[in-house]
Amino acid sequence: MENINLIDNLKNYLDYLKSLEGDRILIENKQAITNENEINLQEDLLAVSGEETTQANWAEASTLDELNAKIKDCLKCPFGQSRTHFVFGDGNPSADILIIGEAPGADEDKIGKPFVGKAGQLLTRIIESVKFSREDVYIANIVKCRPPNNRTPVEDEWKECLPYLIKQIELIKPKFIMLLGAVPFKALLGSDHQITKERGQVFNYNGIPTIPTFHPAYLLRNPAAKKDVWEDVQLLRKLFDEK
């Protein structure tokens, strides 16, 4: 009888040990899963951190190409979600004249370069009318992605892109700036400015003579304003020649 009890006790003890072993294995498996999840989370955080670091370092770019590479995937505003191409800018990276528009349109979004549609073709003729070429100047926009339906970007939207343009100005170091339309005029020189009342005057942006004028798209709708723009680009040419 004692032997039978001893065997039963031993069996119960072995079953107990097995139950503990199973719990240990379960705990180890849970721990392994937890560790794996922690590793995956750390990898995700590092990936996000890397993206943030790349985005944060755009201000340290020393060339336009480097700046473009750092910001071309920007999604800080809703326009980035619907764009076809990020329209950084185009022209002579050491240009004496920087021309700044508002935002890409459908043609610019499709091709990835600024002012290539009807308004861009008109701008080319305007530039050439005072003996400059597109190869002489650099052309950029306040906003780098096309707004839906080509609508005018509001202040909260263009403010997201404005630091990129300011960095472009820093890298190009233009001697003159021409602003096309109300949005770049307000963005660089202050929201209290009105293009219809102040176009054709010479303003100062960080020591750079700056002339606001009408946007070529406006001229397509209001041909009578071409005379005003002609006077403004002649002023630009005069200042350039005197410089």
Q: State both tokens at 62.
A: 């020393």
What is the C-alpha to C-alpha distance for residues 77 and 150, in angstroms, rounded to an integer? 15
Helices (H), 57-131: 64-71, 79-82, 106-111, 118-129
Residue whose C-alpha is closest to residue 103's, from 39, 156, 161:
161
Residue whose C-alpha is closest to residue 176's, from 235, 96, 102:
96
Q: State both tokens at 184.
A: 């770049």
Predicted TM-score (pTM) of the model is 0.77
Contact 172, 136 (CB under 8 A): no
Q: What is the pLDDT along the chain (243 residues), one digit of tens a residue?
A: 444 444 455 455 445 445 444 444 333 444 544 455 444 444 443 343 344 444 559 999 999 999 999 999 999 888 988 899 999 999 999 999 999 999 999 999 999 999 999 999 999 999 999 999 999 999 999 999 999 988 999 998 999 999 999 999 999 999 999 999 999 999 999 989 999 999 999 999 999 999 999 999 999 999 999 999 999 999 999 999 998
What is the C-alpha to C-alpha distance for residues 14 and 4, in angstroms, rounded to an integer? 15
Contact 142, 100 (CB under 8 A): yes
Q: Side chain identity at 48, as an amino acid letter? A: V
- Gyration radius of the chain's alpha carbons: 31
Q: Detail the DSSP E strand segments found in the chain.
A: 90-91, 97-101, 138-141, 176-180, 203-205, 208-213
Within 10 A of 239 (CB to CB), how many other CB atoms are there? Answer: 15
Q: Side chain identity at 69, as an amino acid letter? A: A
What is the C-alpha to C-alpha distance for residues 16 and 39, in angstroms, rounded to an integer? 34
Strand partners, 82: none
Q: State both tokens at 4.
A: 């039978």
Angstrom CA distances, 171 to 64, 77, 177, stand at 7, 24, 14
Determine the CATH number of domain 85-242. 3.40.470.10
